[in-house]
Amino acid sequence: MARKDPQVSRRKFLAGVAVASGATAVPPAQAATAASTSAAPRRPSALPPTMHVAAAETGTPKELPRIGGVPGSDFMVDVIKTLDIKYLPSNPASSFRAIHESLINYGGNKMPEFLTCAHEESASPWRTATSKSRASR
């Protein structure tokens, strides 16, 4: 069967799309009640840790294998020494163990002197005071 008016106006097309999308977005009342009654019970937002997770969090970590050769952190200590940095306040952490070891052993812990801070809030005033004293020179 041929259509009388083969052209569809833009307004009629958009109105038809809006009605069709609205009709498919709203589920029938029976389907909504069936879905809500058969829903799985809610799980808690946080589960207690397993024995394995608790042991990993509280136990002593395993020693990581070391790579042989001269570490690049020794080179970085030489670079830091050329920058005339006197103190290096920092929190000890395993993620930069190599530079920490190089500052203490290779660099002799002199110029820059590695200052171990228990918390970042205690290291921040040192960093700020050092930068202000350098700016005033």
Distance CA 8, CA 1 (A): 17
Confidence grade of residue 82 (pLDDT, cut at 50, 70, 90): very high
pLDDT, position 58: 86
Max Cα–Cα distance, the chain, nearest Å: 94
Q: Mean pLDDT lowest for which of 10-19, 77-86, 92-101, 103-112?
A: 10-19
User: What is the average per-residue pLDDT within 46-60?
Assistant: 85
Distance CA 115, CA 100 (A): 10
61 cis-preceded (ω within 30 degrees of 0)? no
Report the percentage of the chain scoring pLDDT > 70: 68
pLDDT, position 83: 92
Distance CA 66, CA 98 (A): 10
Is 0.85 surpassed by the pTM of this model? no
Give the CB-side neighbour count of residue 64, counting CA atoms within 13 A: 8
